Amino acid sequence: AMNRVQLLGRVGQDPIMRQVDGKNPVTIFSLATNEMWRTGESESTQGALLFLCTIGDISQKTTWHRISVFRPGLRDVTYQYVRKGSRIFVEGKLDYGEYTDKNNVRRQATTIIA
CATH of the domain at 97: 2.40.50.140
DSSP the chain: ----EEEEEEESS--EEE--TTPPPEEEEEEEEEEEEESSEEEEEETTEEEEEE-S-EEEEEEEEEEEE-SHHHHHHHHHH--TT-EEEEEEEEEEEEEE-TTS-EEEEEEEE-
In a domain, 81, yes or no: yes
Give me the number of domains the chain comprises. Answer: 1
In a domain, 40, yes or no: no
Stated pTM of the model: 0.77
In whole angstroms, give the CA distance from residue 100 to residue 97: 11
In a domain, 79, yes or no: yes
In a domain, 86, yes or no: yes
In a domain, 18, yes or no: yes
pLDDT of residue 47: 46
pLDDT of residue 48: 46
- Helix, strand, or coil here: 73? helix
Give me the domain span that covers residue 73.
5-34+60-113
pLDDT of residue 49: 46
pLDDT tens for the chain, 114 residues: list them: 999 999 999 999 999 999 988 888 999 999 999 998 887 655 444 444 444 555 568 889 999 999 999 999 999 999 999 999 999 999 999 999 998 999 999 999 999 999
In a domain, 25, yes or no: yes
29 within 8 A of 14, measured Cβ to Cβ: yes
In a domain, 47, yes or no: no
In whole angstroms, give the CA distance from residue 12 to residue 54: 32
pLDDT of residue 41: 54
In a domain, 106, yes or no: yes
